[in-house]
Amino acid sequence: MPRVQTVVARSPQIYLAGFDVFRPDAAEHGEQLKALCAERGLVGLHPGDSAAPAGMRADDTAQWICDTNLALIRAADAVMANLNDFRSAGEPDAGTVFEVGFAIALGKPVWGYRSDELPLVARAAVRTEAGTAFCSRGFIVEDFGLPVNLMLACTVQWVIGDAATCLDAIRHALIVPR
């Protein structure tokens, strides 16, 4: 008699990248993001879900966090990244940018969201000379009309809006209506 195999589809797992982990209410915000995922048939993997073992030295804790987050990205089907400006105009969080690049290198789809469509040059330039824009530290600000550096803008699927809007786009792309 032929063997019958049952296939159970699982909900797509989404790594929730962003500087939101630095909010004073990071744990509560992470739970809100995971609830938004669940409402859409997705499973949110939040970097703040696991606590480092007690008593570790600071450098060991940092390594533990890094290893844990990389494992979550490997386990994820896709990544959602908050790419709004973080500590300076025009620049998303460096850790989030690393996570995006890591996911792209693994061949995982990444959706990034921003709250506005302003191009990078409009947010980061403080002066213009002979048609060239410069940031406050004197470096040229690229002007391709993109919201962030071209390496992010050209590899991420963009959503203008908030996390819920981004998760709607992810759901639409990953979950086939039945």
Q: Which of 10, 155, 149, 32 minimizes the C-alpha distance to 93?
A: 149
**The pLDDT of residue 175 is above 90:** no
In which order are the strands placed within the sheet that holds 13-17?
A: 43-45, 13-17, 78-82, 110-114, 157-160
Determine the average pLDDT of the residues in 55-79. 96
Give the pLDDT score at 95. 97
**The pLDDT of residue 89 is above 70:** yes
All domains of the chain in start order, with CATH: 13-117+148-174 (3.40.50.450)
Q: Which of 171, 19, 48, 50 minimizes the C-alpha distance to 109?
A: 171
What is the end-to-end Cα distance of the chain in Å, rounded?
31
**Whole-number Å distance between alpha carbons of 66 and 70:** 6
- What single letter denotes the amino acid at residue 100? V
- Type and span of the H or E element at 154: none
Q: Pick the more confident residue, 4 or 115.
A: 115
Q: Is the pTM of this model over 0.75?
A: yes
The token duo for 60 is 């060991």
- What single letter denotes the amino acid at residue 130? A
Residue 91 near residue 142, CB atoms below 8 Å: no
